[in-house]
A and B are shown apart, each in its own frame.
Chain A
């Protein structure tokens, strides 16, 4: 091969590499997006049935229950209009409290219980997870519209 051809091969190889990388990244990206829904939207059946999503709002006062094993908990997330029961096995974050903002990630079961594999709370006393704030905001708008 002439040097010019070799350089061409090299450039093509790099382009191929970048192209394959991009295609691969975009596919992985598409299949791993996690969307956010408010309790109202989840109750209305707008949330996906089979895939994971995030739900946010406040932990309903007095809704926290603990199973016998001590590590399975159930609580309700509310956006002041609808409540969604959430089940979670594991240790809740330090700043998880009733009446405070929370975001859970997981799947909705047919019985209407949200099984979370991750529960996020805020990082300091003033800060509200943005998804939780968003859920309350959307609920407020719905109420205003009524």
Chain B
């Protein structure tokens, strides 16, 4: 019964979405107040129905109902329950259900936390979101029903892909989806602005917190995915420029640009058309990402069985959504008008440059991701664009953007005299350059890339400190204010900005030092053998068989010595998941503030020895730490009093699900 209830709830949710779309859009066009004011309530109802559907699928998974095809293909009675729950969104069908659950969740949140927005606007916004939802409900019901029954029922399930049986995988997809889908809110705001012609600073103020929250979720989602790849794939990489990673990275880049351009639109009324276009592009890239990942055109952990019908459907949907919104844009944008003027050196121009660089970076990632697919689709043969392309392109494009991160926040709006900026920043610059030249010698050998990376990181961090100092000086000039009360008088959005920027600096330190100084060794080890790694000596003590709930395997015990002193004992595993007969490498990682020690078992050799891979990865955790700080900065920014005081208006983004 449970799956049928779920299926029925989703069908009802689909019908309600059609209604809401009608009420919202037609109601606006005709000026039917009753219709327009009903969309809030239907939003709650749709969210409730979708939650019921999702809960039903989760129950089927938790109770091992193998008469449901989805459960039988993606779960197993031996699977521990947290993974059975995670398996709910571990399949193609389930992940789509999660997608619409998130979408309707955002919809309900907009309905709940937008009391200050006029009814006509909210009616348009929720109408547009419901229209997007219709597409996904249709897709799910027509091509990928998660509730399909299997007759006769399977005796046991085929198990979840062992790669996904991991705590990181339990939270990575929901976080990522929250981000992806969250951009649908600002997309809906943008479309509503185009239709109504109301595109002013108030509009930007409504949109900003939603965008920032979505961006923070996406940041966390991407970081979790990267962290998972690092410890789960067994070869210690944290980013592969895999098309699926790129699919999530492109909306992130454009979303970052969008946040900054919304800032200008709110504060100065400029960049309006550009902001709207960015909102459309960002959400389109989220949809494109869904298409790339879900249609089977890509090959990766995320790509499920290829089904041309599904690919065609999403592609069609993509064309309709992007095409309609761009048409609308072309038609309405000229009426929006330009904003305030600004000089060549000003905060606006710094933010404009930041936007251009971020969008060019996103475009270069798009080119590298889509070009091979196009060639293949057109029958021109198979090619691949590997990490060398992305590395070569990405770093030079982002370096100037990083440099601007130091200047921009200190520059004044409208017009910022260059001598004044130089006066403020000269010490940061000198200290950053000198330390960046010297530090690599301390770390080991000198290397240009390390030096440039450290220069950028130090520059951003120092400029942020100078920024805070300048601000404090302004507050305290001519008045007797204690440091604490001066600090607490600064709005949270400002701290959010500083935190996120320092997060970028931390991230750069991690990337730079790991790329510059990581040590990797693949060695043949028998019991008692040692291998030296930097200042560490690692000894293989023993190898033992082990049995897990749904796998069997071998566990190595390795002692790590620093000089004569034992610092750590590590236990890497090689598992064989019994149902899918799939081997998995479980790396052992000793995490430290300044370095990770990473050991994974390669393959057994004939004489009882193993090939063992050992890595020393300096500062690698700073990569994810930096991402966490960025996301935290975003959360700080939306918790600003300004949004809460605006009454109810757009404030509550913080408590959005």
The answer to whether B356 and A29 touch across the interface, beta carbons within 8 angstroms, is no
SS class, residues of chain B in contact with chain A = mixed
The answer to whether B522 and A36 touch across the interface, beta carbons within 8 angstroms, is no
| B16 touches A (CB below 8 Å) | no
The answer to whether A70 and B524 touch across the interface, beta carbons within 8 angstroms, is yes
The answer to whether A29 and B393 touch across the interface, beta carbons within 8 angstroms, is yes
A32 to B163 CA separation, bound complex (whole angstroms): 30
The answer to whether B603 and A28 touch across the interface, beta carbons within 8 angstroms, is no
- Which of B301, B357, B389 contacts A28, CB < 8 Å? B389
The answer to whether B381 and A95 touch across the interface, beta carbons within 8 angstroms, is no
Contacting residues of chain A (27-81) with chain B, CB-CB under 8 angstroms: 28-29, 32-36, 54, 66, 69-71
Chain B contacts for A25, CB-based, 8 A: 360, 363-364, 367, 393, 397
SS class, residues of chain A in contact with chain B = mixed
A125 to B344 CA separation, bound complex (whole angstroms): 58
Q: Number of A residues contacting the other chain (C-beta, 8 Å)?
A: 41
Query: A38 — nearest CB in chain B belongs to which residue?
Result: B382
The answer to whether B352 and A14 touch across the interface, beta carbons within 8 angstroms, is yes
- Which of B235, B349, B381, B389 contacts A35, CB < 8 Å? B381
The answer to whether B385 and A29 touch across the interface, beta carbons within 8 angstroms, is yes
| B339 touches A (CB below 8 Å) | no
Shortest B373–chain A CB gap in Å is: 11
Chain A contacts for B235, CB-based, 8 A: 91
The answer to whether B583 and A94 touch across the interface, beta carbons within 8 angstroms, is yes
The answer to whether B356 and A70 touch across the interface, beta carbons within 8 angstroms, is no
Contacting residues of chain B (140-165) with chain A, CB-CB under 8 angstroms: 161, 163
| B30 touches A (CB below 8 Å) | no
| A140 touches B (CB below 8 Å) | no
Query: B302 — nearest CB in chain A belongs to which residue?
Result: A123
| B582 touches A (CB below 8 Å) | yes
The answer to whether A127 and B299 touch across the interface, beta carbons within 8 angstroms, is yes
The answer to whether B163 and A70 touch across the interface, beta carbons within 8 angstroms, is no
- Which of B161, B303, B600, B611 contacts A70, CB < 8 Å? B611
The answer to whether A131 and B360 touch across the interface, beta carbons within 8 angstroms, is no
The answer to whether A94 and B381 touch across the interface, beta carbons within 8 angstroms, is no
Chain A contacts for B301, CB-based, 8 A: 123
A3 to B344 CA separation, bound complex (whole angstroms): 9
Residues A33 and B385 in contact in the complex (CB < 8 Å), given A10-B349, A95-B583 = yes
Query: A122 — nearest CB in chain B belongs to which residue?
Result: B299
Contacting residues of chain B (304-352) with chain A, CB-CB under 8 angstroms: 305, 341, 343-344, 349, 352
The answer to whether B381 and A36 touch across the interface, beta carbons within 8 angstroms, is yes
Contacting residues of chain B (578-624) with chain A, CB-CB under 8 angstroms: 580-585, 600, 602-603, 605-606, 609, 611, 613
Shortest A77–chain B CB gap in Å is: 15
The answer to whether B360 and A123 touch across the interface, beta carbons within 8 angstroms, is no
The answer to whether B367 and A29 touch across the interface, beta carbons within 8 angstroms, is yes
| A124 touches B (CB below 8 Å) | yes
The answer to whether A91 and B524 touch across the interface, beta carbons within 8 angstroms, is no
Shortest B372–chain A CB gap in Å is: 8
Chain A contacts for B417, CB-based, 8 A: none
| A17 touches B (CB below 8 Å) | yes
A131 to B372 CA separation, bound complex (whole angstroms): 12
A10 to B350 CA separation, bound complex (whole angstroms): 11
Shortest B158–chain A CB gap in Å is: 10
Shortest A123–chain B CB gap in Å is: 5
| A142 touches B (CB below 8 Å) | no
A32 to B352 CA separation, bound complex (whole angstroms): 30
Chain A contacts for B343, CB-based, 8 A: 6
Chain A contacts for B522, CB-based, 8 A: 71, 89-91
A22 to B352 CA separation, bound complex (whole angstroms): 17
The answer to whether B389 and A17 touch across the interface, beta carbons within 8 angstroms, is no
Chain A contacts for B606, CB-based, 8 A: 66
Shortest A54–chain B CB gap in Å is: 6
| A130 touches B (CB below 8 Å) | yes
Chain A contacts for B581, CB-based, 8 A: 125
The answer to whether A3 and B389 touch across the interface, beta carbons within 8 angstroms, is no
The answer to whether A123 and B163 touch across the interface, beta carbons within 8 angstroms, is yes
| A113 touches B (CB below 8 Å) | no
| A115 touches B (CB below 8 Å) | no
Residues A126 and B305 in contact in the complex (CB < 8 Å), given A3-B341, A21-B360, A94-B234 = yes
The answer to whether B353 and A17 touch across the interface, beta carbons within 8 angstroms, is yes
Shortest B582–chain A CB gap in Å is: 6
Chain A contacts for B609, CB-based, 8 A: 70
Would you give the 0/1 interface string for A12-29, flagging 1 where the beta carbon is closer than 8 Å to chain B? 011001100110110011
A29 to B397 CA separation, bound complex (whole angstroms): 14
**Closest CB pairs A-B (n = 4):** A70-B524, A32-B389, A91-B602, A36-B382
Known: A6-B343, A13-B344, A28-B389. 18 other contacts (CB 8 A): A9-B344, A21-B357, A28-B392, A29-B385, A32-B386, A32-B388, A33-B385, A35-B382, A35-B383, A69-B524, A70-B609, A91-B602, A123-B163, A123-B301, A125-B580, A127-B299, A131-B382, A134-B382
